[in-house]
Amino acid sequence: MTLVSSKPLASTDMKPLVWQSHETVVASATTLGILRRFPRLMREAVKLAWAANRRDLLLAVSLNLLAGVCMVSGLVSGTVVLSRLLSQAMTWESLQAASGPLVMVCTLAVLRSSLLALASWSQARLRPQVERIVAARLAMAGTRLPLADFDEPELYDFMRLAKDRGLHEAPEMVQRMVDVAAAVIGLAAAGSVLAATHPVLLPLVLIASVPDGWAAARAGLMRYRLMFQLTASRRRKWILHELMCGRASALEVRAYMMREFLLEEYDKISAQEERLELRLSRREFVVGLQGVSARGLCAGVVYGALAILVGTGMVGVGAAATAVIAVQVSNSSLRNLVGSATSCFQSGLYFEDLVSFLATATARSRRDERPGPADFETISADGIGFAYPGTDSRVIHDVSVRVRKGEMIALVGENGSGKSTLAKLLAGFYEVTEGAVRWDGDDIQGVRREDLWRHVAVIAQDYTQWPLSARHNIVMGNRPDEDGLASAALASGADSVIAGLPEGYDTLLDRRFKGGQELSKGQWQRVAAARAFYRDASLLICDEPTAAMDPAAENALLTAIREFAEDRAVILITHRLEAVRHCDRAYVLAHGRVAESGTHDDLLSLGGLYYESYMLQARRYGRMPGLDPV
Ligand SMILES: Nc1ncnc2c1ncn2[C@@H]1O[C@H](COP(=O)(O)OP(=O)(O)O)[C@@H](O)[C@H]1O
Ligand SMILES: [Mg+2]
């Protein structure tokens, strides 16, 4: 999506984003439906935490459990203390009698706090470990996906959503689940004391907690809905921020004086967000107020019941006092439970995206398959057709081409005629929809991709400017072989570029980092060519490899490619028809079909498309065809 366009851009110009629609789907899903999927999500979260560090997980839960036991014992001892102090007039003896249990109460309180602190420590330790494992799984899944999947906008956005939110929410989900467990344990502890005091107290306390629970759940749901509403606008803001402050658009923001327009746009979205946030905080306040008022009423009922129980002698004064404490404790545990459950629920929605993305990616990653060839002599396409994933229209129709080792073939044709696509099909980056690509007569369908790509080197049309050193931009993560590196750099002309860098091969080629250097497009293209030469593969694909080069560099590179082709198969995609003269054969593509094919001379004598383009170029450059060296 390009935001910098010549016509003024209103915020409505931005297309609804795919993940906005995705989230609308999630947001519109029924609470019940989500709740039904929850047990599975919780299982996944436990599995994740278990894989991250089972010791910390077990510690976090069992320490909370022990803290719960301390709480029960503390409350029981508290009852003893209070009954000894309150059941008769305060005397030295009664104080002495209460001192033992009192020490017990204090010890248990300290023990409980220490256990809870240790439990939080385990929980905190779990967080980065879960994050690391999720990040690794995401990266593994993302790099394993077939290239074609990156052409499916839905899947691509799904991956980004899983990464952007899932990565953050997975540890959150684990954290909240332990919180839920801790709150349940606390509640069970306080509840058991209440139930032991008098059976009617427990249901009463539960009823008294309803208003609070209701208010917290409502507020949580409202915040969650707003979060969904804001996701798309937050992303818009992020894009705008990138445009305003990013490096790629810095020049045009200034040249086209886009600053004010972008700022205005940014502020418009911020104002909209602010309005929604303010409205939400007002509604949260109202709901909170309702909850608090209802809680007051319910507390009155509970304490009234307690008073009746004491008055009728059904419950002792000491036990009643403990019950008051237990009511407080269970109330706060309940509030924690509702709070953690709501957060767990919210995280769960994003966590679900992560879980299902990982499942989808695993299902889609190729589990091939037949081993590929150790090498090849000939690669051919036989009547192939191809449509990009997620599109209906074929961009390649009934194409047959071949290339043999020791040959250099050219693919020519106007922009969009299918040259790059055809080259990618021959190398097995995409799978054909019709016909077959054969390596030595063997259909490559179902062949392990790595076995094919091992033999392929590409000077891609949209090569990557890796933010790495010049050396690693050529050796690409392999152990550098200095001789190979030097000859690849020499052949591509990258050697003179690197010689001009302050730290030679060790110079970082990214200006965003301190000490990083910027290369021009043509210089980058030489580095990209060196990368392909260094790979030393049997099939070399050169996709418009000289598009940004000066004429001298272009000539030098084309000569080097020709030399390289001596014992390899080379596919050269170019608009410089002079270069075709030195190819064994050229295929002229038009609208995804092979319109003409043959040697340079054959094609000229046909007097068709190739001839016309060639004459046009010859006139443009003011040269007579056939007189240029390559
Ligand atoms: N990833 C893609 N998804 C969908 N369509 C694509 C994709 N890449 C290219 N196309 C379409 O396929 C056609 C051929 O593209 P391409 O092979 O890149 O042409 P060329 O290299 O000859 O300029 C074009 O119409 C282009 O719009
Ligand atoms: Mg292309």
Q: How far apart are CA 570 and CA 457, in angstroms?
A: 10
The one-character DSSP state at 469 is B
pLDDT of the residue at 368: 65
Q: Is the pLDDT of residue 252 over 50?
A: yes
Q: Which residue has the higher pLDDT, 261 or 21?
A: 261
Instruction: Give the Å distances, CA to CA, from 411 to 131, 286, 530, 575, 618.
Output: 47, 69, 21, 9, 19
| Residue 276: band (very low, low, confident or very high) from pLDDT cuts 50, 70, 90 | very high
Q: Is the pLDDT of residue 2 over 70?
A: no
Pocket mutation for ligand 1, best pick of 152, 384, 420, 544 (most atoms within 8 Å of C-beta): 420
Could you read off the pLDDT of 141-178 as tens digits, one per residue? 988 888 888 887 777 777 877 887 788 889 998 888 88
Q: Do 613 and 577 meet the contact criterion of CB atoms below 8 Å apart?
A: yes
Q: How far apart are CA 160 and CA 353, in angstroms?
A: 10
pLDDT of the residue at 12: 41
Could you read off the pLDDT of 556-577 as tens digits, one per residue? 889 989 988 889 999 999 999 9
Helix (H) or strand (E) holding 426: helix 419-426
Report CA 6 to chain centroid distance, whole Å. Answer: 32
Q: Is the pLDDT of residue 41 over 60?
A: yes
Q: What percent of the chain has pLDDT over 90?
A: 44
| Residue 228: band (very low, low, confident or very high) from pLDDT cuts 50, 70, 90 | low
Q: How far apart are CA 598 and CA 608, in angstroms?
A: 12
Residue nearest to atom 1 of ligand 1 (CA): 151
Concatenating the DSSP letter of every residue in 337-399 gives HHHHHHHHHHHHHHHHHHHHHHHHHHHHS----B---S--SEEEEEEEEE--TT--S-SEEEE
| Residue 20: band (very low, low, confident or very high) from pLDDT cuts 50, 70, 90 | very low
Q: Do 117 and 67 meet the contact criterion of CB atoms below 8 Å apart?
A: no
Note the ligand closest to the C-alpha atom of 544: 2
Q: Which residue has the higher pLDDT, 22 or 608?
A: 608
Q: How far apart are CA 92 and CA 96, in angstroms?
A: 6
Q: How far apart are CA 163 and CA 157, in angstroms?
A: 10
Mean pLDDT taken over the chain: 85
Q: Do 595 and 609 meet the contact criterion of CB atoms below 8 Å apart?
A: yes
Could you read off the pLDDT of 452-468 as tens digits, one per residue? 999 999 999 889 999 99
For ligand 1, residues with CB inside 6 Å are 151, 388, 391, 395, 413, 415-421
Which residue shows structure tokens 């509970």? 302
pLDDT of the residue at 9: 34
pLDDT of the residue at 628: 46
Question: How far away, in angstroms, is 400 Cα from ligand 1 center?
Answer: 18
What strands, in cross-sheet order, belong to the sheet with 539-543?
456-459, 539-543, 569-573, 408-413, 585-590, 593-598
Scanning 470-550, the segments in alpha helix (DSSP H) are 470-475, 482-492, 494-499, 521-535
Question: How far away, in angstroms, is 391 Cα from ligand 1 center?
Answer: 11
Determine how β-strand 585-590 pairs with β-strand 434-439.
unpaired
Could you read off the pLDDT of 202-227 as tens digits, one per residue? 787 777 777 777 787 777 778 767 87
CA end-to-end span of the chain? 39
Please give the number of the atom of ligand 1 that sits closest to the Cα of 543: 21
Question: How far away, in angstroms, is 411 Cα from ligand 1 center?
Answer: 14
Question: How far away, in angstroms, is 412 Cα from ligand 2 center?
Answer: 10
Residues 599-623 have a mean pLDDT of 88
pLDDT of the residue at 14: 42
CB atoms within 10 A of CB 291: 20
pLDDT of the residue at 221: 73
Question: How far away, in angstroms, is 255 Cα from ligand 2 center?
Answer: 29
| Residue 34: band (very low, low, confident or very high) from pLDDT cuts 50, 70, 90 | low
pLDDT of the residue at 89: 67
Note the ligand closest to the C-alpha atom of 422: 1
Pocket mutation for ligand 1, best pick of 395, 412, 574, 589 (most atoms within 8 Å of C-beta): 395
Please give the number of the atom of ligand 1 that sits closest to the Cα of 544: 21
DSSP-assigned beta bridge partners for residue 25: none
Question: How far away, in angstroms, is 418 Cα from ligand 1 center?
Answer: 6
| Residue 17: band (very low, low, confident or very high) from pLDDT cuts 50, 70, 90 | very low
| Backbone angles phi and psi of 457, in degrees to 5 | -125, 140
43 burial type by CB count under 10 A (0-12 exposed, 13-18 middle, 19+ buried):
exposed
Q: Tokens representing 516?
A: 């990083």
- Which domains are assigned to the chain? 41-361 (1.20.1560.10), 465-536 (3.40.50.300)
Question: How far away, in angstroms, is 545 Cα from ligand 2 center?
Answer: 11
Q: How far apart are CA 54 and CA 184, in angstroms?
A: 21
- Find the radius of gyration of the CA atoms of the chain: 35
Q: How far apart are CA 267 and CA 286, in angstroms?
A: 29
Residue nearest to atom 19 of ligand 1 (CA): 416
Please give the number of the atom of ligand 1 that sits closest to the Cα of 573: 21
Q: Is the pLDDT of residue 105 over 90?
A: no
Note the ligand closest to the C-alpha atom of 423: 1
Q: What angle do CA 396, 401, 404 make, to 5 degrees?
A: 145
**Nearest to 56, CA basis, from 110, 111, 128:** 128
Could you read off the pLDDT of 345-363 as tens digits, one per residue? 778 877 888 898 899 888 8
**Nearest to 26, CA basis, from 34, 17, 15, 35:** 34
CB atoms within 10 A of CB 53: 18
Could you read off the pLDDT of 535-558 as tens digits, one per residue? 989 999 999 998 888 888 888 889
Q: What percent of the chain has pLDDT over 70?
A: 91
| Residue 382: band (very low, low, confident or very high) from pLDDT cuts 50, 70, 90 | very high
Q: Tokens representing 206?
A: 């539960």
| Residue 583: band (very low, low, confident or very high) from pLDDT cuts 50, 70, 90 | very high
Among the ranges given (16-25, 297-306, 440-449), the one the predictor scored with the smallest mean pLDDT: 16-25
- Cβ neighbors of 136 (< 8 A, separation 6 or more) are none
pLDDT of the residue at 623: 55
